[in-house]
């Protein structure tokens, strides 16, 4: 389970044996799965614990960008720190800092769009969601991982 640290949600994710490639480190596509697991801890578990549960009805990734910096080996302590870079009416952008044993291993961002659970069409963020996400608005220099 994660925690809020300096206006960011921080959680540890476990590397599974099946995440590894032939070179013994996490496959690039599986790194995206680690981001997803961290995001679920934040937007489904933490948000629901704080009374914001509508995101669990449906949310889609409309854009993803990732920059790999160093390999993620099996057995390492992988921590994902997330904040909100942009908050719009019906979409928001999350930035991710992935550290391995304290060293920056990847940076990423996703644009997420909440959807109506019946129609699967985009919907506007409600007031509770906006307030929750506003708590995590941040600016991070993804080249260094330092906030500002």
At residue 15, the pLDDT reads 78
Two structure tokens written together for 64:
């993803």
Count structural domains, the chain: 1
Q: Which residue has the tokens 């013994």?
A: 24
Q: Taking Cα atoms as reference points, which of 85, 107, 103 lies closest to residue 94? A: 85
Is residue 76 in some structural domain?
yes
Is residue 148 in some structural domain?
no
CB half-sphere exposure, 126, CA atoms < 13 A: 9
pLDDT by residue (tens digit) across 105-129? 999 999 999 999 899 999 999 999 9
Query: What is the residue-averaged pLDDT of the chain?
Result: 89
At residue 148, the pLDDT reads 46
**Domain of residue 7, CATH code:** 3.10.129.10
Domain interval for residue 46: 3-137
Q: pTM surpassing 0.75?
A: yes
Is residue 145 in some structural domain?
no
Is residue 46 in some structural domain?
yes
In what order do the strands lie in the sheet containing 8-13? 3-5, 8-13, 78-87, 92-100, 103-114, 59-68
Q: Give mean pLDDT, residues 5-17.
A: 88
Q: Which residue has the tokens 């995206």?
A: 32
Is residue 143 in some structural domain?
no
């Amino acid at each position: 389970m994660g925690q809020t640290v300096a206006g960011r949600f921080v959680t540890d994710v476990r590397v599974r044996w099946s995440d590894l490639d032939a070179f013994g480190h996490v496959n690039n596509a599986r790194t995206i799965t680690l981001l997803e697991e961290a995001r679920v801890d934040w937007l489904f578990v933490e948000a629901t614990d704080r009374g914001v549960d509508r995101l669990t009805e449906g949310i889609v990734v409309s854009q993803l960008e990732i920059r790999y910096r160093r390999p993620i080996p099996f057995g390492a302590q992988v921590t994902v720190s997330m904040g909100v870079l942009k908050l719009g009416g019906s979409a928001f952008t999350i930035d991710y800092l992935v550290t391995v044993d304290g060293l920056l291993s990847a940076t990423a961002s996703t644009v997420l769009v909440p959807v109506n659970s019946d129609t699967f069409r985009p919907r506007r963020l409600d007031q509770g969601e906006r307030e929750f996400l506003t708590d995590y608005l941040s600016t991070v220099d993804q080249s260094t991982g330092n906030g500002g």
